[in-house]
Amino acid sequence: MFITFEGLDFSGKSTQIKLISEYLQKQNKNVKVFREPGGTFVSEKIREILLTKDEIHMSDAAELLLFSAARSQLVREVIIPALEENCYVISDRFHDSTIAYQGYGRGLDLDFVIKLQNFAINNTLPDVTFFIDIPQEERLKRKHSNELDRIERSNGDFYNKVRDGYLKLCKSEERYFKIDGTKTIEEIHKMVVKKIEELEKKRNDKNAEKS
């Protein structure tokens, strides 16, 4: 199963990924966790550039292409092989992040951004995408100003556009599962577990029908 987590910075994705990966491992599942950008030698080098804490100028087009390049390498080098080995692959962000951040947030041509992502992921769509939704006010409460990377330093208007983009994706993509990110960590974890168990049951039922 390919599981992705999406949301604004400081929405709690990393915490939930840690919890669900530990939960699945306790069930003797083979689990592999990746973060974006990153996960390969090439992707980690690109990450250093994209998320630097230094003040650098980068065009929106360059940002889009670098995220896409890192993702393309991650998919082909590690995600596809892991799925072929029947692993549970969990990714902290995936192509939806670029659609939300660079497409809606930066205002780049949305059709082009989507086409580029389809090429980058090589038809490797998640089985489920958990969108942990927090309002702008909550994001501001949680952020740590002394450790912000280049993108986290973006203004509030940018993040409002990103969130609107995610909400539109929620309505258009059936694989999306929206969660109120202001709920407690345990409440969110239980919702994630329940959804994955539902998907597992559906998959097992289908396999049983085929056999």
The residue written with tokens 């983009």 in the block is 165
pLDDT tens-digit map of 11-34: 999 999 999 999 999 999 999 999
CA distances from 133 to 120, 138, 167 (A): 25, 10, 9
Is residue 38 predicted with pLDDT exceeding 80?
A: yes
Distance CA 180, CA 187 (A): 10
- The residue range of the domain holding 96 is 2-210
pLDDT tens-digit map of 132-191: 999 988 998 888 766 788 998 888 899 999 999 999 999 999 999 999 999 999 999 999
Share of the chain above pLDDT 70, in %: 99
Burial 115-129 (b: 16+ CB within 10 A, else e): ebbeebbeebebbbb
Closest CA to 34 of 46, 24, 25, 43: 43
pLDDT tens-digit map of 92-123: 999 999 999 999 999 999 999 999 999 999 99
**CATH code (residue 82):** 3.40.50.300
